[in-house]
Amino acid sequence: MPLPTAHPYMANSVPALQQEMLAAIGAPSIDALFAQIPAAHRLQRPLALPPALSESELRRHLLGILAKNRSAEQTLSFLGAGSWQHHVPAACDEVVRRNEWLTSVFGEPSSDHGRNQAWFEYCSQLGELLDMDLVGLPVRSWGAAAGHALRMAARITERSEVVVVRAIDPERLSVIRNLCEPPEMANHIAVRCVDYEPVTGQVDLAHLRRLVGPQTAASISRRLPTWA
């Protein structure tokens, strides 16, 4: 049921404004906006939440739950998939908290200004250090870097297949597949996954030789002791 008053965090939640927005988009009700979600997947009862706690009580409660676990700071982690010890220099926290870069919403003009300013300064200083006329923006993640490199290789070689070691973070592989585009797209690049030796983490060279062919533009295959 629509709230009789505005939600503390959503001023547009009052019934009058809801009806105005629904009329503007031609929707009969808010439920109609979620018609594509099966009814069995939608909650039909009030959500059973525990009694409200104060901020300090909630913090103690959550810390008590987290204390039952052992973090990567306390012991070595061999889980892979990006879950291992990472060192973040203290200077990084100081830099990202600067007012000109710290924003509450990513993608808004206010945040884009700080982000683009940071990238401009980074590329300008790197260009001076390396004596280069142009320095492109750094990619945002390992998966994006690999995906861009594979697309560039496919464009240069005019081939339509790439080989990627199967011992890779599933999320990063998903990014690579996304950048290589789905089969329905004209510029689709097929991603072939090469096996690896579970004991040593080394690529299965015999399988790699079978996968590499006339249409192979590039391969990402190296010794990986864990998911990487």
Reading the block at residue 179, the tokens are 């950048």
Q: % helix / strand / coil in the chain, to the nearest 5?
A: 40, 10, 50
Tokens 């079978």 belong to residue: 210
In this structure, the chain runs to a length of 228
The amino acid occupying position 63 is: L
Closest CA to 210 of 174, 178, 167, 163: 163
pLDDT tens-digit profile of 152-185?
999 999 999 999 998 888 888 999 999 998 888 8
The amino acid occupying position 217 is: A
* Close Cβ partners of 123 (under 8 Å, ≥ 6 residues apart): 135, 136, 137
Reading the block at residue 53, the tokens are 């706690």
pLDDT tens for the chain, residues 1 to 228: 444 566 666 777 788 888 999 999 999 998 899 988 998 898 888 888 878 888 899 999 999 999 998 877 788 887 776 677 778 899 888 877 777 666 555 555 555 666 777 788 888 898 999 898 888 776 667 888 889 889 999 999 999 999 999 888 888 899 999 999 888 888 899 999 999 888 887 888 899 999 999 999 998 865 433 333
Q: Which residues pair with 7 in a beta bridge?
A: 10
